[in-house]
Amino acid sequence: MTIGIGLLGLGTVGAGVAAIVASPQGRHPLVAELQLRRVAVRDLQRPRPINLAPELLTGSPEAVVDDPSVDIVVEVMGGLEPARSLILRAIAAGKPVVTANKAVIARYGEEIAAAATAQGVYVLIEAAVGGGIPIIEPLKQSLGANRIQRVSGIINGTTNYILSRMADEGAAYAEVLADAQRLGYAEADPAADVQGHDAADKIAILAALAFGGSVPRAAIPTAGIDSLDARDVAYAAQLGFGVKLLAVAEQVGLSAEGAAELDVRVHPTLLPKDHPLAGVHGVNNAILVEADPVGRVMFYGPGAGAGPTASAVVADILNIAGIRQVERALPPGAVAPLDPLLAGRTWRPCALVDPAGTHHRNYVRLRTTDQAGVIGKIGSCFGEEGVSIQSIVQFQPSVDAAEGAEIVVITHEVREAAFRSALAAIEALPDVRSVAACLRTL
């Protein structure tokens, strides 16, 4: 039994998928059942990273979707359109879809899932988050017994590479970014990565799976690393913390109507050095799931790259191929409904809470005059808002006293609104020149 694959896109991931399908030896025997039937490329003339029979290639992605010999449509072209329309077209044709497209799924996941449910086809997305790390499938199929409390992760390899080098070398953000671009770890336009949007797409997807309902992507508070100062990375290290760009989704309540109330956000975060995520370096990703009764489980591995991402794409193809084998053995006319776990069906509404009401630990760096009594005044401002402080440490940025002092405050877990009020009062103090940095802390 052969299963026909149609590829939309033949970039690094598409070529990686084609390479796996072309050399099934030593892999699961189902891989040998897969056959590449049609491949849509943007430019038929461009040289390819992989040799394919020219008759497989077409400039028309619609032709791939519509090709009757294509059983599974694999979307690895990226971008919002025409990817979204092509996924919907495949679903409408009753064809299962495998996609690595986090942007489309984060924004149109609900529309796509509804169409897939109506048509009774799977849309699988393992490659959309965490590259080669199995995380979507475990969330769908291995952790269903749990009440998930929190999913937090390092899910953008570019920023983790930059942060790792900033920490190791004490280098400035802009300098490391330029180097990362030269080495191919960051794109020419790095905005989606360094501003946190890519991580926000991914945490929206993880949150929907972990908490059972889709999350409004546009409403996720997102801060990137593009304004991160190397000084804060250095101070954090001195205080026993590493700095990582974390994406977090946490259930903070349950509404009277049964909706999961979620605090979902992306921001640079101080992690204690012994935190499981603190040891994740370079372009690696890791996702930590905290749940009852399992406790803390973590999934770690390469978060991007042709090989890892193709591994995840082909895993999804194999899952559909396995089910296809089952379906083909059914009597004529029998249509197996979707497995509710693999389909990742949502099962309750989810809502984002007002960030002002959430609770966090914070790191604040203040530039102040170098005068006695400043720390006391800052402490009083926090105290008046009920913001409990774990530590206040004065750092001297230079030997020149005229430059003033830098004071770093780490709070306990406090209500965001109270913290912001205290910060406004501190900013108004005559001895305080500026709030130079404000980061979350785990």
Cite the active site residues.
202
308 binds a copy of itself (CB under 8 A): yes
Check: CB of residue 316 under 8 Å from CB of residue 126.
yes
Letters for 110-149 (x = contact with a copy of itself by CB under 8 A, - = none) are ----------------x-----xxx--xx--xxxxxxx--
Q: Which of 14, 104, 96 is nearest to 317 (CA)?
A: 96
CB of 326 to a copy of itself, least distance (A): 5
Number of residues that bind a copy of itself (CB under 8 A): 68
Residue type, 24: P
By the 10 Å C-beta count (0-12 exposed, 13-18 middle, 19+ buried), 143 is classed as middle
CB of 13 to a copy of itself, least distance (A): 11
344 binds a copy of itself (CB under 8 A): no
If you write DSSP's letter for every residue of 165-184 in order, what string do you get?
HHHHH---HHHHHHHHHHHT
Check: CB of residue 160 under 8 Å from CB of residue 293.
no
CB of 28 to a copy of itself, least distance (A): 3
Letters for 24-63 (x = contact with a copy of itself by CB under 8 A, - = none) are --xxxxxx--------------------------------
- Cβ distance to a copy of itself smaller for residue 338 or 351: 338
CB of 277 to a copy of itself, least distance (A): 11
Torsion sign (Cα): 186, 187, 193, 195:
positive
- Cβ distance to a copy of itself smaller for residue 341 or 356: 341
323 binds a copy of itself (CB under 8 A): yes
Report the chain's C-alpha Rg in angstroms: 24
The footprint of a copy of itself on residues 142-201 (CB under 8 A) is 142-147
- Cβ distance to a copy of itself smaller for residue 200 or 343: 343
- Cβ distance to a copy of itself smaller for residue 139 or 186: 139
Give the SS3 label for residue 366. strand
Cα(242)–Cα(164) distance, integer angstroms: 9
318 binds a copy of itself (CB under 8 A): yes
The footprint of a copy of itself on residues 369-388 (CB under 8 A) is none
Residue carrying the six token digits 């990686």: 16
- Cβ distance to a copy of itself smaller for residue 109 or 301: 301
Check: CB of residue 442 under 8 Å from CB of residue 271.
yes
Cα(182)–Cα(200) distance, integer angstroms: 25
Check: CB of residue 34 under 8 Å from CB of residue 21.
yes
The terminus-to-terminus CA distance of the chain in angstroms comes to: 51
- Given the rule CB under 8 A, which of 53-61, 171-179, 226-234, 327-335 is the region that contacts a copy of itself? 327-335
Dihedral angle, C-alpha 195, 196, 198, 204, nearest 10 °: -150
Angle between helices 374-384 and 416-427 (to 10 degrees): 140
- Cβ distance to a copy of itself smaller for residue 73 or 418: 73
* 63, 191, 341, 401: residue in contact with a copy of itself (rule CB under 8 A): 341
Check: CB of residue 67 under 8 Å from CB of residue 97.
no
- Cβ distance to a copy of itself smaller for residue 82 or 305: 305
253 binds a copy of itself (CB under 8 A): no
The first and second tokens of residue 97, run together, are 């879809």
Residue type, 354: D
- Given the rule CB under 8 A, which of 50-58, 197-205, 302-310, 423-431 is the region that contacts a copy of itself? 302-310
Q: Which residue ranges make up the site for a copy of itself (CB under 8 A)?
A: 16, 19-20, 26-31, 126, 132-134, 137-138, 141-147, 212, 254, 276, 279, 291-302, 305-308, 310-315, 317-319, 322-323, 325-326, 329-331, 333-334, 336-342, 347
